[in-house]
Amino acid sequence: MSSTTAGQVIRCKAAVAWEAGKPLVIEEVEVAPPQAMEVRLKILFTSLCHTDVYFWEAKGQTPLFPRIFGHEAGGIVESVGEGVTDLKPGDHVLPVFTGECKECRHCKSEESNMCDLLRINTDRGVMLNDGKSRFSINGQPIYHFVGTSTFSEYTVLHVGSVAKINPAAPLDKVCVLSCGISTGLGATLNVAKPKKGSTVAVFGLGAVGLAAAEGARIAGASRIIGVDLNAKRFDEAKKFGVTEFVNPKDHDKPVHEVLAEMTNGGVDRSIECTGSINAMISAFECVHDGWGVAVLVGVPNKDDAFKTHPMNILNERTIKGTFFGNYKPRSDLPSVVEKYMNKEIELEKFITHEVSFSEINKAFEYMLRGEGLRCIIRMDA
Ligand code: NAD
Ligand code: ZN
């Protein structure tokens, strides 16, 4: 594969978003070869995360079209650009929306995964090396999304946004670790860090929230309270160790008061995985004073503002936030894949749907209807 296509433009199928909120169109695109410190991947499986949907809808976000979305995926390196030494054609990899250059202060700090060069940037639609796109249709550039653009049979990424993984790992399963599941798991295990026996609230029971609940179960939480506006989520969530459910719609009082009553003053930890500003504020206000920690994971709208009374903070509550569960993508993701290989985490239960690439719009419909968790899109079908 590499010997015949390396250095050449590849023509392949990609799902292009021409306009906000309009179904994607499968088009033949040209994918330029990788430049310095870039790699070109053949994507085998991709899945849909709510972040793709927010930026495709572009309701509270900066619109940038035409664009190729997609960031949760698994693939194989097709060719590498100049200067790339730690990846070679044939390597099995997971692309990640927030990269790791391994050189900057953040990459060198044990506490941060917010790489100066490659941290998530939802407004940029071009590659860093030359400020241009690698995708085009008849000469018209098509923008990238979060440096990954996995809704294409071939895509070009900065080498720092690519994690090399165990080639024995099934890409149709571990692709969900490239965003949502690692994010939720890490938000709990790396950021909220609940103690054994504690009470954890999870706001939003999609794949990210249920992965956060798995993290709470692994950490030994004794009560895991799931909060969602969609009652359909509760049945699914029982498989993930969620012990109690609260639907804010069933109560007249604010949900943080409902949780405080259920827990004698507040939960020990809460993890917000909704993207709703109201849920973010509730997730903070529902933690116990003195020790409670809230972690925000959901992606807000561009104009959202977080409002709470400062006394809530003075009373010794902590608020934190995270991208990708604080995992460093290249350094840490391979070991998360090993957790799946060693059966410490289960991925199958997160995968509720599967469609062929030509049916990619169905994956959007499932997510918009709040149906299921992750839908795997098979690129070869
Ligand atoms: P999803 O749509 O599958 O799940 C979100 C759930 O939140 C839904 O079940 C929905 O009913 C529920 N919800 C919405 N508003 C609510 C409210 N006010 N109160 C309670 N529940 C509410 O989405 P997902 O793919 O699991 O992603 C969850 C969030 O995490 C999204 O905002 C996504 O953009 C974000 N995300 C962040 C990161 C990161 O690194 N920080 C990574 C991946 C995803
Ligand atoms: Zn995502």
Give pLDDT tens digits for 231-285. 999 998 998 989 999 999 999 999 999 999 999 999 999 999 999 999 999 999 9
Does the bond joining 66 to the residue before it have cis omega, within 30 degrees of 0?
A: yes
Q: Whose CA is nearest to atom 14 of ligand 1?
A: 274
- Report the run of H or E that residue 347 belongs to, with start and end: none
Q: Is 329 in the pocket of ligand 1 (CB under 6 A)?
A: no
Beta strands in the chain (DSSP E): 10-16, 25-31, 38-47, 72-80, 92-95, 135-137, 140-142, 154-158, 162-164, 199-203, 223-227, 244-246, 269-272, 293-296, 318-321, 351-356, 374-378
Whether residue 317 lies in the annotated active site: no
Mutate to test the pocket of ligand 1, among 47, 48, 51, 276 (most ligand atoms within 8 A of CB): 51
Whether residue 107 lies in the annotated active site: yes
Mutate to test the pocket of ligand 1, among 71, 96, 182, 208 (most ligand atoms within 8 A of CB): 208
Per-residue pLDDT of the chain (381 residues; tens, 9 = 90+): 445 899 999 999 999 999 999 999 999 999 999 999 999 999 999 999 999 999 999 999 999 999 999 999 999 999 999 999 999 999 999 999 999 999 999 999 999 999 999 999 999 999 999 999 999 999 999 999 999 999 999 999 999 999 999 999 999 999 999 999 999 999 999 999 999 999 999 999 999 999 999 999 999 999 999 999 999 999 989 989 899 999 999 999 999 999 999 999 999 999 999 999 999 999 999 999 999 999 999 999 999 999 999 999 999 999 999 999 999 999 999 999 999 999 999 999 999 999 999 999 999 999 999 999 999 999 997
Residue 65 C-alpha to ligand 2 middle, in angstroms? Answer: 19
Dist. CA 96–CA 94, nearest whole Å: 6
Q: Is 282 in the pocket of ligand 1 (CB under 6 A)?
A: no
CA dihedral (169, 175, 178, 179) in degrees, to 10, reads: -140
Q: Is 99 in the pocket of ligand 1 (CB under 6 A)?
A: no
Report H helices in the chain.
2-5, 50-57, 105-108, 171-174, 180-186, 207-218, 233-237, 255-262, 277-285, 310-314, 329-341, 360-368
Angle subtended at Cα 209 by Cα 297 and Cα 375, rounded to the nearest 5 degrees: 110
The Cα-based distances of 297 to 7, 180, 305 in angstroms read 39, 10, 15
Confidence (pTM): 0.96
End-to-end CA distance of the chain: 19
Residue-wise pLDDT for 156-170, tens only, equals 999 999 999 999 999
Catalytic residue among 5, 51, 199, 274: 51
Q: Is 237 in the pocket of ligand 1 (CB under 6 A)?
A: no
Residue 260 C-alpha to ligand 2 middle, in angstroms? Answer: 31
Catalytic residue among 115, 273, 286, 375: 115
Residue 305 C-alpha to ligand 1 middle, in angstroms? Answer: 17
Share of the chain above pLDDT 90, in %: 98
**Cβ atoms within 10 Å, residue 245:** 17
Report H helices in 83-193.
105-108, 171-174, 180-186
Dist. CA 244–CA 239, nearest whole Å: 12
Q: Whose CA is nearest to atom 1 of ligand 1?
A: 206
